[in-house]
A and B are shown apart, each in its own frame.
Chain A
Amino acid sequence: MIELGAVALVLAFPTALFATAAALWGTRGDRRFVESSRRAVYVLGGLLTLCILAVEVAFVDTDFSLKLAADYTSTTTPLFYRLVGMYSSQEGSLLLFAWVLSLATSLALRRTRNRHREIVPWATAVLAGLASFFTGLMLFDANPFARLDPAPAQGFGLEPLLRYPEMAMHPPLLYSGYVGFAIPFAFAIGALITRRLDASWLRSTRRFALIAWVFLGLGLIFGSRWSYSVLGWGGYWAWDPVENAALMPWLVGTAFLHSSIVQEKRGILRTWNVVLICATFSLALLGTFLVRSGALQSIHAFGASTVGAPLLGLIAVVVIGSTLLIVSRLDELRAVKRIESLASREAVFLINNLLLVGLAAVVFWGTFFPLISEAATGQKASLAAPWFDRYAAPLGILLVLFTGIGPLLAWGRVSRGELRRLLAVPALVALLVGLALLAFTDAGSKPLALLTFVCAAFALAGIVGEFARGAAARRSLVGGSYAAALGGMVVRNRRRYGGYIAHAGIAILFVAVAASSSFQSGAIVRLGRGQSTQVGGYRFTYTRPTVSVDQAEQRLALGSVVKVTQDGRPVTTLHPARLYYSTAAPSEGAALRGFFEGTVNSQIGRQTGVERDLWTAMNPDLSRFEPFITGFDRRLDRLAAKLPANDPRVGAQLSSLEGMAINVVQRRYMADPPPAEFRINVFPFVVWLWIGAGVAAVGGLIAIWPAPEARRRRVSGLAAARLGRESRVET
């Protein structure tokens, strides 16, 4: 199967090249070449699917003759994580990227096969060109089918920190997001080249942009959730360059989704739209580049990668090429109409666009500041989270405010009286919420957080009002219950109400970010059994130690039971633990010390509630077992020296002895538990971050789903086309 995959990859590269060349030839008007390029893209999708299957089979079968499988899986890695282990590697992630690109391209070309006869060949050439680049990169620089001969008996296994469902979801969602933006980008390039600059290319690719937005957003959220739930540092966002690199295309992509609606409805912002989609895709490529180049100091960057330079070349081609193309088409892009009034939906959309792009620009500046500073002063320098927060907070607040205002206004122009009427109720709700927060909470101590809550209340009140008005109008029209009217209204206008739901989700998400970051309480304390500490109004008491062994995962957990009380009343019991993994990786020290200082991670003890999360991580101080560990390792080394090396039976016996020594440590840990370092956090409203993101994703999916009218139009359109073809045949 590995050979089959390797051959498929070898064939994929010329197939992609052929698709590019045929599409380019097809731009001269010969439809046969356009058809041929489209079919070549389908074939490419099939070949890359074969590559993915070949790698997956090797991972599932633990075929360590495939280097990738030996590096990222082992016989003790659970099946699910063998299935998803592929894309924790650079080669596997590039394969995933190319595969998703080929599938998305196939789908886009299938959907547009009878439309955009001039644009499609160019779009195909761009997309197939991208596929050629990535398949070539794999073939010549990062081949996922590299072999090991002889195959090792065991693999390294997947890093235990990655064995979490969130981490299994994060990469494919992120890549789908990046790749999804390639479709509108390619069609924008096609539209620019052919000077077909009306909104038709936007309509045809809107769903792909929305899917990309939803996927990229979910990818970011799954990554954040993993960081929060698994890593022992107690946060969900660190403003790391690679995290920022995924956020930037999402921000600019969000701006594009909104400004494309303005072009569709009002015929304006045409230049802005092509600039935004080109920037979005360039930033998506930049994210791929930053992980692989080592250009910036990032905790997420692959080390010693050689694919950075070609990726930088691709980004340069995309940026320079699209800029030249846009500049050369400025006359055609100039809109006939203008924004009539600042009190209009399109004006507010534009303001929100500027805020989103401004935020992306701040993130870009901060991310690339080491390079900027090196160019300016000769010395690389980095910016920490407080600098990012200083700009992101006010821009975020304004974003939430205008997210609330935009949907309330009509297109074109709104009179002052009408404006007052539309904004009165949401403004009143926001005011009441602000006063209530000032009166009953300490929100006044954090003005930026208070402003976020007030603006979010305004936005949510506006959205609820829109739903209420729409449902009432529909009920008066068709009758029935209020719920049925609400459901019917959403079903009949999914794009609009899906958008409102997404806005509500984002407003909730901003509230959660403001609350959890401004009002969190935390402490790092050393506690012995029976000792306690007070954090955020809660008392955390380390009551007793726990030990457990997961034989399937070969994992030891040295943990604790932490009782949480508030004003003497029991609240919950938490079970944080330190997890120690037995791995087949070469030990970096003596055997037993290697185990306790080797592959280790935290099991977070957490209680999630609608008001707050109680979060604990622990690290037991094992220094009192030091003499035993050192003594055991010394004796084991002496014993091993007397036994024949490279004898698997001897290895197995030594491993059993190590296991017995670990049993001794377990017993001593239970009998006389050492003190442990506890990291304790109380995060208010953090669960609303995930709920808000989920609501936004649901809103996005509702907006993606075709409305009944659109489906009917498409079906009737297809039927008409078929009738036309049949009548031509009969004639």
Chain B
Amino acid sequence: MNPTRKRNFRLAAALATAVLLSVALAYTSFNASASDVTAGQLLAMARPGQSYELAGTVTSAHRAGDTLFFRIRDPKRAAVSVPVRYAGSVPDPFRVGRAVVVTVREAGPRFVGEPNTLTTKCPSKFRAEGEPDGTGPVLGR
């Protein structure tokens, strides 16, 4: 094979591989993705069995045994929130008022968080509201 034909063949093979890989990338990503939703969107569109990445602010939370129950508020519509039941690893920074993301599925009146999918905003990005009151409990006396 002369050098020019060889080069063209290599180029065609490389391009074909790149196209194939790109198609595979696009196909698998659309198949494997979970919709990013806010509380309002979730209430409007949730279908049983479908996974959603729910993002928002925690408005209330309580534990019962191994299960954590909390509500996530819509970042744009403060009056809208959804209840979530979650069992799995809870990040340390999780608390009321913090922004979280969790993968959920519809299960009756509430949504069930998939185990170990709850993440909380990185602590370096917290900005406390209001003024420090300077009256934390005094420990060790």
Question: Within the complex, which residue of B29, B124, B132 is in contact with A156, where a contact is CB–CB below 8 Å?
Answer: B132
| B10–chain A nearest beta-carbon distance, Å | 9
Q: Specify the chain B residue showing the minimal Cβ separation from A600.
A: B92
Residues of A within 8 A of B121 (CB): 299-301, 303
Residues of B within 8 A of A159 (CB): 93, 123-124, 126
| Residue B80 interfacial (CB < 8 Å) | no
Q: In the bound complex, how far is the Cα of B25 from the Cα of A88, in angstroms?
A: 36
Q: Specify the chain A residue showing the minimal Cβ separation from B125.
A: A302
Residues of A within 8 A of B129 (CB): 586
Q: In the bound complex, how far is the Cα of B119 from the Cα of A233, in angstroms?
A: 9
| Residue B106 interfacial (CB < 8 Å) | no
| A170–chain B nearest beta-carbon distance, Å | 9
Contact flags (1/0) for B111-139 with A, using CB distance below 8 Å?
00000110111111111111111111111
Task: Give the size category of B's interface with A.
Answer: 35 or more
Residues of B within 8 A of A582 (CB): 136-139
| Residue B103 interfacial (CB < 8 Å) | yes
| A481–chain B nearest beta-carbon distance, Å | 48
| Residue B47 interfacial (CB < 8 Å) | no
| Residue B141 interfacial (CB < 8 Å) | yes
| Residue A74 interfacial (CB < 8 Å) | yes
Asked if B95 and A526 make an inter-chain contact with CB atoms under 8 angstroms apart, the answer reads no
Residues of A within 8 A of B133 (CB): 154, 584-587, 651
Asked if B29 and A161 make an inter-chain contact with CB atoms under 8 angstroms apart, the answer reads no
Asked if B29 and A619 make an inter-chain contact with CB atoms under 8 angstroms apart, the answer reads no
| B70–chain A nearest beta-carbon distance, Å | 12
Asked if A384 and B139 make an inter-chain contact with CB atoms under 8 angstroms apart, the answer reads no
| B49–chain A nearest beta-carbon distance, Å | 16
Q: In the bound complex, how far is the Cα of B93 from the Cα of A370, in angstroms?
A: 25
Q: How many A-B residue pairs lie within 8 Å, measured between CB atoms?
A: 187
| Residue A234 interfacial (CB < 8 Å) | yes
Q: Specify the chain B residue showing the minimal Cβ separation from A230.
A: B92
| Residue A628 interfacial (CB < 8 Å) | no
Asked if A655 and B136 make an inter-chain contact with CB atoms under 8 angstroms apart, the answer reads yes
Contact flags (1/0) for B25-49 with A, using CB distance below 8 Å?
1001110111111000000000000
Residues of A within 8 A of B110 (CB): none
Asked if A303 and B125 make an inter-chain contact with CB atoms under 8 angstroms apart, the answer reads yes
Question: Within the complex, which residue of A167, A238, A554, A679 is in contact with B139, where a contact is CB–CB below 8 Å?
Answer: A554
Q: Specify the chain A residue showing the minimal Cβ separation from B3.
A: A338
Question: Within the complex, which residue of B88, B122, B128, B130 is in contact with A299, where a contact is CB–CB below 8 Å?
Answer: B122
Asked if A654 and B29 make an inter-chain contact with CB atoms under 8 angstroms apart, the answer reads no
Q: In the bound complex, how far is the Cα of B89 from the Cα of A234, in angstroms?
A: 9
Question: Within the complex, which residue of A362, A373, A656 is in contact with B30, where a contact is CB–CB below 8 Å?
Answer: A373
Asked if B89 and A524 make an inter-chain contact with CB atoms under 8 angstroms apart, the answer reads yes
Residues of B within 8 A of A161 (CB): 92-93, 123
Binds B, one of A42-50, A375-383, A685-693, A697-705: A375-383
Residues of A within 8 A of B37 (CB): 380
Residues of B within 8 A of A157 (CB): 132
Which residues between 353 and 388 of chain A lie within 8 Å of chain B, taking CB atoms? 358, 362, 365-366, 369-370, 372-373, 376, 379-384, 386-387
| B115–chain A nearest beta-carbon distance, Å | 8
Asked if A238 and B53 make an inter-chain contact with CB atoms under 8 angstroms apart, the answer reads no
Question: Within the complex, which residue of A302, A373, A556, A602 is in contact with B33, where a contact is CB–CB below 8 Å?
Answer: A373
Question: Within the complex, which residue of B124, B135, B140 is in contact with A162, where a contact is CB–CB below 8 Å?
Answer: B124
Residues of A within 8 A of B141 (CB): 656, 659
Q: Specify the chain A residue showing the minimal Cβ separation from B87.
A: A524
Residues of B within 8 A of A661 (CB): 137
Asked if B63 and A621 make an inter-chain contact with CB atoms under 8 angstroms apart, the answer reads yes
| A222–chain B nearest beta-carbon distance, Å | 13
Asked if A297 and B122 make an inter-chain contact with CB atoms under 8 angstroms apart, the answer reads no
Q: Specify the chain A residue showing the minimal Cβ separation from B30.
A: A373
Asked if A74 and B132 make an inter-chain contact with CB atoms under 8 angstroms apart, the answer reads yes
Known contacts: A159-B124, A582-B139, A585-B132. The answer to whether A297 contacts B30 by CB under 8 A is no
Residues of A within 8 A of B28 (CB): 387, 390
Q: Which of B28, B34, B126 has the most CB of A within 10 A?
A: B126
Asked if B90 and A619 make an inter-chain contact with CB atoms under 8 angstroms apart, the answer reads yes
| Residue B55 interfacial (CB < 8 Å) | yes
| Residue A555 interfacial (CB < 8 Å) | yes
Binds B, one of A324-332, A493-501, A590-598: A590-598
Residues of B within 8 A of A623 (CB): 63
Q: Specify the chain B residue showing the minimal Cβ separation from A382.
A: B53
Known contacts: A152-B132, A582-B137. The answer to whether A71 contacts B127 by CB under 8 A is yes
Asked if B66 and A586 make an inter-chain contact with CB atoms under 8 angstroms apart, the answer reads no
| B59–chain A nearest beta-carbon distance, Å | 11
Q: In the bound complex, how far is the Cα of B131 from the Cα of A656, in angstroms?
A: 21
| A346–chain B nearest beta-carbon distance, Å | 15
Asked if B126 and A651 make an inter-chain contact with CB atoms under 8 angstroms apart, the answer reads no
Question: Within the complex, which residue of A370, A549, A584, A656 is in contact with B134, where a contact is CB–CB below 8 Å?
Answer: A584
| Residue A309 interfacial (CB < 8 Å) | no
Question: Within the complex, which residue of A238, A384, A658 is in contact with B34, where a contact is CB–CB below 8 Å?
Answer: A384
Asked if B126 and A382 make an inter-chain contact with CB atoms under 8 angstroms apart, the answer reads no
Asked if B132 and A658 make an inter-chain contact with CB atoms under 8 angstroms apart, the answer reads no
Q: Which of B35, B66, B125 has the most CB of A within 10 A?
A: B125
Q: In the bound complex, how far is the Cα of B32 from the Cα of A551, in angstroms?
A: 49
Q: List 19 A-B contacts (CB under 8 A).
A: A71-B127, A71-B128, A74-B132, A88-B124, A159-B123, A162-B124, A233-B91, A238-B119, A301-B122, A303-B127, A369-B33, A524-B89, A551-B140, A554-B139, A582-B136, A585-B128, A595-B137, A602-B92, A621-B65
* Chain B contacts to A: CB under 8 angstroms: 21, 25, 28-30, 32-37, 53, 55, 63, 65-66, 88-93, 95-97, 99, 101, 103, 116-117, 119-141
Q: Which 3 residue pairs of A and B lie closest in terms of their CB atoms, listed nearest first?
A: A658-B137, A381-B33, A582-B136
